[in-house]
Structure 1
Amino acid sequence: MTWIDTVSPEDAQGRLAKLYARVKGPDGRVDNILMAHSLRPPTLEGHMALYKNVLHHSANQVPKWFLETIGVLVSLRNGCAYCVEHHYAGLERLLDDPEEAAMIRTSLEGNLSEGKAWGAKEIAALLYAEKLTERPADMAKSDAAKLREAGWDDGEILEINQVAAYFAYANRTVLGLGVSIDGEQLGLSPNSSEDGDWGHK
């Protein structure tokens, strides 16, 4: 599952066992990306707090399906198949429209400005996330201004920024530790509107 040792849910004790109980899926499994943290439970706790607050907090204003779309885009650009497949499955579930989801994926895998998947507002956000992923040192004040001009307010710009930044972190956790998708149920997330609920459903 990873290139380093991990502690299984069956063998977890103390703080790690409590964290696993919070993040497990309906079948009792824990995602491999989370088990990758098992030798240092505080980093698992930090990862989940960031993930929940960035993607699934009840105060977010950007639609959840579009935050997931940004995550798929960043993961594609970083070559992280693990996160692409997990979050594309989550996107499909949220949209409940396989054709629309497939159209979105085709656009993300190609030229963002082509196809019928986006309006100008969404394209502006995706281009921002793409540039932040591929050329972070080139970011400028004008990049935020373009988002504002497209109709995003400053709080929404922060949400877009944080999702792109979170996926850079998650992708590098996966790619740097060899986390595999073997044995996982795709598309589960801490989707409850309760902000302290980390359970994957």
Structure 2
Amino acid sequence: MPATDANPAWIRLVPYDDSEGYLRALYDRVKGPGGLIDNVMKAHSLRPHTMEGHSALYKSVLHHTGNTLPVWFLECLGIYTSLSNRCDYSVAHHFAGLSRLLRDEARAAAIYRALAAARPEDAFAGKELALLRYVRKLTLEPQRMEEADVLALRDAGATDGEILEANQVCAYFNYSNRLLNGLGVTTQGDVLGTSPPNTGSLDDWEHR
């Protein structure tokens, strides 16, 4: 099944109006402005239990108060991972989210140029630069990871908790990128740049 305006993926996505039971409950939890549901979540609609796992992981790694790295930088880690995987869907959504968070169009554009060119040093330094280089290597060369990679992050000033946060963001986006690229999911009909609030609850999904 080709992706079309009516069905923006290579498999069937269940529309909200056709959903019921468990799927309807999950759709109601994750829907955004105007009741719209992002295609990344609709991609799970034939197996709703996988949507529940995906949404919990997403909220945990990007929008949970237990994290200490700023959300805008977590978004940068996700964008760099997604650029490395050439996942246009994730890049579009999360760059829009980054732009909204920064409220600085020039800064957002400079970050995008640096990450798209695989030159994070053009926009970052210190701990942030080290973490970006870590997620790039972990995405493209996971078999070459070694303890020295973590030691370099500590030397740059990252705590072990921050290293774990970066690791989890990278792991999540590699999962999501493969979901999206593997099923041909497009942004057709999505509203870009909205996200759930940062809270300690995995059920708090009121998009802003």
TM-score by length of 2: 0.93
Among 23, 28, 35, the residue aligned to 1:16: 23
User: Which of 166, 172, 195 pairs up with 2:172?
Assistant: 166
**Equivalences for residues 61-100 of structure 1 within 5 A:** 61-100=68-107
Measured after TM superposition, the shift of residue 194 of structure 1 is: 4.8
Aligned to 2:41: 34
The answer to whether residue 45 in structure 2 is matched with residue 3 in structure 1 is no
Q: Which residue of 2 aligns with 1:199?
A: 206
SS at match of 2:34: coil
1:37-63 CA deviation, whole Å, 9 max, x = no partner?
000010000000000001111110011
Task: Note if contact 1:6-1:39 (Cα within 8 Å) is conserved in structure 2.
Answer: yes
Identity %: 52
Within 5 Å, which residues of 2 pair with 1:109-128?
109-115=116-122, 117-128=123-134
What secondary structure is seen at the aligned counterpart in 1 of 2:18? coil
Q: How many residues align?
A: 200
Q: Which runs of 4+ in 1 moved over 3 A?
A: none
1:14-35 C-alpha deviation (Å, 9 max, x unpaired): 0000000000011111000100
Q: Could you tell me which residue of structure 2 aligns to residue 154 of structure 1? A: 160
* C-alpha deviation, 1:199, in angstroms: 3.0
Contact 2:121 2:129 in 1 (8 A): no
For structure 1, the 5+ residue unaligned runs are: none
CA distance in 1, matches of 2:29, 2:173: 21
CA-based RMSD of the aligned residues comes to 1.0
Mapped partners of 1:33, 1:142: distance in 2: 35
1:175 to partner: Cα distance:
0.3
Q: Would the aligned equivalents of 2:77 and 2:132 in 1 still touch at CA under 8 Å?
A: yes
- Using the TM superposition, give the Cα deviation of residue 110 of structure 1 relative to its aligned residue in structure 2, in angstroms: 1.2
* Structure 2 residues without counterparts, runs of 5 or longer: 1-7
Query: What is aligned with 1:177?
Result: 183
Question: Whole-Å Cα distance in 2 between the matches of residues 113 and 143 of structure 1?
Answer: 17
Cα distance in 2, alignment partners of residues 101 and 12 from structure 1? 37
Partner of 2:78: helix, strand, or coil?
helix
Whether the 8 Å CA contact 2:66–2:200 is kept in 1: the answer is no
C-alpha displacement of 1:121: 1.3
TM-score (norm 1): 0.97
Counterpart code for 1:134: L
